[in-house]
Amino acid sequence: MDRFDIEDLKKGAHIHFIGIGGISMSGLAHIAIRDGYKVTGSDRSVSAITNKLAGEGAIIYEGHAAENIGDAELVVHTAAVHADNPEMAEAARRGIRLIDRAEFLGAIMKNYRHAVCVAGTHGKTTTTSMLAHALIYANTDPTISVGGELDLIGGNIRCGGSDMFVTEACEYTNSFLKFYPSIALITNIEEDHLDFFTGIEMIRESFRSFAGLTRGKGTVVAYGEDENIKLALENTDLNIITYGMSDKNDYHAENIIYSAGYPSFDIYRGSRKLCGISLNVPGDHNILNTLATIAVCELLGVDADTAARGIETFKGAHRRFEKKGFVGGAVVLDDYAHHPTEIRATLKAAKAFPHSRIRTIFQPHTYSRTRTLWNEFVNAFDDTDELILTHIYAAREVYDGVTDPDRLASEIAAKGIDAKYIDNFDDIVKYIRETAKEGEIIFTMGAGDVTSIGTELVK
């Protein structure tokens, strides 16, 4: 079947979203409501996200049932929804057009002159959030879709009125190959989602195809010091702009100074200084995210100094080095890091802050990721003074019979790190409350429900 085109639907048509409570799906539903479509949707449970959609006019169903789709002319589903879902099965039985989230997002962005797709194994949400701050500060009125909650836009979606669309672009199941980017930003390429990809070669090929979507009409902005990016982009005829710490890149940083954990630096394009900037988010990785943002902004016609002033207003998206409060004099931070590289970057950034000790509560995300990146996880926690591992957040998976977090904790402890396994969240809260001391940094870390521990600790 041909790719879905938004012009295939008449204005006011009924669109039903299966899994409407998810971050990305809810954003698409907001846009559909804005554009005058009738929106219904279902999810396992209602939430603040679905309540907000209901307030805008969407009809929300708790749970999945065939009758929920009503007279829908289009049904949009997440990648996690399978053919045996009663709403999927009913749509198929009645011949209603069924498409996944990525295809619908691609159809939307096709109508924008400037479609910026932020891709990479890490850094998508933060970089997209930086772009939001820069472009809104510059009064460009963009449409923004973020894979997290951003205070600036009051959630995960902003429906703008200009010809600019900025969104995250996830490589999982090759979703981003259904997009129409005029600017394809690639922050890094590493092994991940190995329940779909067979290895790094397949991942590189996927990103190569993604970059190729700009051929003849757009630009690739890429981290120039990532070896996998270099391999993915070699021998292509694409328009490529690079950024990195070295002056061999088109954009680079100089005169980096850290103050209380936060970097200030100068931004150069070639040999010309564009501006200086002082970040309100920590870490070397955020210097790179800033360089990427400046490069994209200049392509969009926003001067670097204006973009920098906008970036300086960014203090982080929710669940990215987010301060939750204090317990026993220790500061509690929450972070979404769930890949070994993200964990190392977050803990390295934390070490730049004044502290007596760093303590990390980590919840692995999916059995497949934990199993395939096992050795990387064993070596990811060298910068924490204490590690508490808890049960794996299964997400879309079931227990594989071999991947056990208590064994992972034992292997990390064998390296000399104070690592232990505590399965129950209440037991973790009790232990931290009894032992937290002034000057400590306590992280809750992972992509699952480990964030609830931090909320409980600071009550």
Query: Which CATH number belongs to the domain containing residue 47 in this structure?
Result: 3.40.50.720
Is 125 an annotated catalytic residue? yes
At 381 the pLDDT is: 97
At 258 the pLDDT is: 87
Range 193-203 burial, b when 16+ CB lie within 10 A, else e: bbeebeebeeb
At 8 the pLDDT is: 83
Is 440 an annotated catalytic residue? no
Residue 221 DSSP class: E
Domain end position, chosen among 69, 101, 133: 101
76 belongs to a structural domain: yes
- Choice among 168, 322, 386, 456 that is catalytic: 168
User: To which residue do tokens 């002159």 refer?
Assistant: 113
Q: How many CB atoms lie within 10 A of CB 3?
A: 12
pLDDT digits (tens, 9 = 90+) for 393-431: 998 789 999 999 999 999 999 999 999 999 999 999 999
At 91 the pLDDT is: 96
At 413 the pLDDT is: 97
CATH of the domain at 411: 3.90.190.20
Q: How many CB atoms lie within 10 A of CB 335?
A: 27
Q: How far apart are CA 227 and CA 325, in angstroms?
A: 39
At 186 the pLDDT is: 98
Q: What's the distance, Cα to Cα, between the start and end of the chain in Å? A: 53
- Choice among 38, 78, 124, 178 that is catalytic: 124
pLDDT mean for each 10 residues of the chain (459 residues): 82 95 89 94 92 96 96 91 92 95 92 96 94 98 90 89 95 92 97 90 98 95 98 96 97 91 93 96 92 98 98 86 89 93 92 90 96 96 97 90 95 96 97 95 94 94
Q: How far apart are CA 96 and CA 419, in angstroms?
A: 52
- Choice among 50, 78, 121, 125 that is catalytic: 125
Q: How far apart are CA 345 and CA 338, in angstroms?
A: 11
The answer on 146 and 46 residing in a single domain is: no
Domain end position, chosen among 267, 290, 311: 311
The answer on 397 and 307 residing in a single domain is: no
Is 230 an annotated catalytic residue? no
Q: How far apart are CA 68 and CA 70, in angstroms?
A: 5
287 belongs to a structural domain: yes
> Can you spell out the DSSP letters for 387-433?
EEE---B-TT----SS--HHHHHHHHHTTT-EEEE---HHHHHHHHH
pTM, entire model: 0.82
Three-class SS state of 331? strand
How distant, in Å, are the alpha carbons of 21, 43, 125 from that of 48? 9, 12, 20
Residues 6+ apart with CB under 8 A from 434: none
Q: Where in the sequence is the domain holding 382, given as residue range(s)?
A: 322-457
How distant, in Å, are the alpha carbons of 250, 328, 359, 428 from that of 436? 46, 5, 9, 12
At 1 the pLDDT is: 58
The total of structural domains in the chain comes to 3
Sign of CA dihedral 225, 229, 234, 239: negative
The answer on 333 and 285 residing in a single domain is: no
Contact between residue 271 and residue 249 where contact means Cβ atoms under 8 Å apart: no
> Can you spell out the DSSP letters for 111-146?
T-SEEEEEESSS-HHHHHHHHHHHHHHTT---EEEE
Return the amino acid letter for 459: K
316 belongs to a structural domain: no
The answer on 126 and 262 residing in a single domain is: yes
| Cα-to-chain-centroid distance, residue 252 | 24
Domain end position, chosen among 259, 290, 311: 311
Q: Are strands 14-18 and 38-43 parallel, antiparallel or unpaired?
A: parallel
Residue 337 DSSP class: -
At 363 the pLDDT is: 98
Contact between residue 30 and residue 54 where contact means Cβ atoms under 8 Å apart: no
